[in-house]
Structure 1
Amino acid sequence: MSSEESKISLGTTLWNALALDGNFYENARNTPKTYRIAQTIVILAALSHALGSAVILLINLATLPVMLLALLIDGMSIVGGYYFWTLTIWKIGEWRKPNHVTYRDLMIPIGFAYAPQVLNFLTLIPLFGQPLERVLAVWSLLAVIVAVRQGLDISTRNSALICLVGWPLVQLAVGFIQRFEQFLVEGF
């Protein structure tokens, strides 16, 4: 293992990803353990989102089975959104620049770009939950735009256009899941 590889840690990766460092995203796929770190960030983002939802479900006195079901769906929506968004970006990238990068090559920087979502547990702060959730979503969008720009070696404008294809769909799905959780709590 080289000294550069040993410097890669979850904390350093989160910090560089949150800072929207273009060089970090460009070099992200060049180290062996980055895939595992990227997947860890996505899982932490899902757990953070579920934690914020859990507090809201507890406040609304959700029953244990309803809460467990809602949290499972909540966490899976974040992970599923990551795979869906990466797939849409990769497919459009393949159309624009065939055989330029693999799906796995994009999974790493886009996984890193989910770093702002690790802070999603902060959405449980009264009165700041929804606005903070929107800020974190836009921050992730900006991070993905930087990651795709570096990964596909395209302009920022083209990267933004590619990323904006799947992002609204992911946001709608997460919003739908939140409404579904409300329905579960109110229905039981």
Structure 2
Amino acid sequence: MGKRHFIRWLRQVLLDALTLNRDFYEHSHHYPAAKRLAQGIVAVAAISHGLGSGLILLLYQPSLFQLGLGVLINSLSVIGGYYLWTYAIWKVDTYINPPVPPYRELLIPVGFAYTPQILNLLTVIPLFGRPITLALAGWTLLGAIAAVRAGLNIDLAKATLLAGVGFTLVQVAIGLVQSGVQSWVSP
């Protein structure tokens, strides 16, 4: 695959993920290198979140060690949240709708649902940070609902329930991590 073709393909994949294209989510596991691309999206989202959190931590005038560790912890919280969310979706579905596909098969569509989180660095914009955070979280939730609906071939109500349960867990966990890091760094 040539460089131009790859860039066009990547742009289309990101656009399909951001526009919640059901066909895309339904067939996302068939894309070449889908697993690596979904993991890459989560990694970029984690870095974006970590850097944004790092910029906020700078307000507390941390040591270089505290800043680096804070960025690392906040970045890893997004990656951990991704696996926690996918596991929660999978586990709740095993109770509601057995049999379910293997856990690994959900990692790809849920990873693509993280595409809006790539913009997480924008949450440091004064006065707009909180609304941007909420918009990106809502957009990611909608992506996860589309991913779960297509990936598990279930109706909208079940997909919303499954994605919503995990979403709540992840938002609380990441919020606790961020608060913990900020209180650790604050003088």
Fold shared by both chains (TM-score > 0.5)? yes
The amino acid that maps onto 1:10 is L
Rounded to whole Å, the distance in 1 between the matches of 2:67 and 2:168 is 26
What displacement does 1:15 show? Answer: 1.4
Rounded to whole Å, the distance in 2 between the matches of 1:26 and 1:51 is 32
| Counterpart residue number, 1:163 | 163
Q: Secondary structure at the match of 1:98?
A: coil
The amino acid that maps onto 1:63 is S
Rounded to whole Å, the distance in 1 between the matches of 2:75 and 2:12 is 24
Contact kept, 8 Å, 2:90 with 2:100, in 1: the verdict is no
Structure 2: gaps spanning 5 or more residues: none
Rounded to whole Å, the distance in 2 between the matches of 1:90 and 1:132 is 28
Rounded to whole Å, the distance in 2 between the matches of 1:121 and 1:9 is 24
Structure 1: gaps spanning 5 or more residues: none
| Counterpart residue number, 2:96 | 96
CA 1:26–1:7: 2 relative to 1, 3 Å: farther
Rounded to whole Å, the distance in 2 between the matches of 1:37 and 1:103 is 17
Rounded to whole Å, the distance in 2 between the matches of 1:55 and 1:88 is 31
Rounded to whole Å, the distance in 1 between the matches of 2:110 and 2:154 is 15
| Counterpart residue number, 2:122 | 122
Rounded to whole Å, the distance in 2 between the matches of 1:12 and 1:87 is 28
| Counterpart residue number, 1:31 | 31
The 5 A counterparts of 1:22-61 are 22-61=22-61
What displacement does 1:7 show? Answer: 8.6
Using the aligned pairs only, state the percent identity: 46
Deviations 1:119-163 (A, max 9, x none): 000011111112211110111001000100001111111100111
CA 1:105–1:130: 2 relative to 1, 3 Å: same
Rounded to whole Å, the distance in 2 between the matches of 1:134 and 1:156 is 22
What displacement does 1:69 show? Answer: 1.2
Q: Which runs of 4+ in 1 moved over 6 A?
A: none
The amino acid that maps onto 1:79 is I
| Counterpart residue number, 1:148 | 148
The root-mean-square deviation of aligned C-alpha atoms, in Å, is 1.9
What displacement does 1:13 show? Answer: 1.8
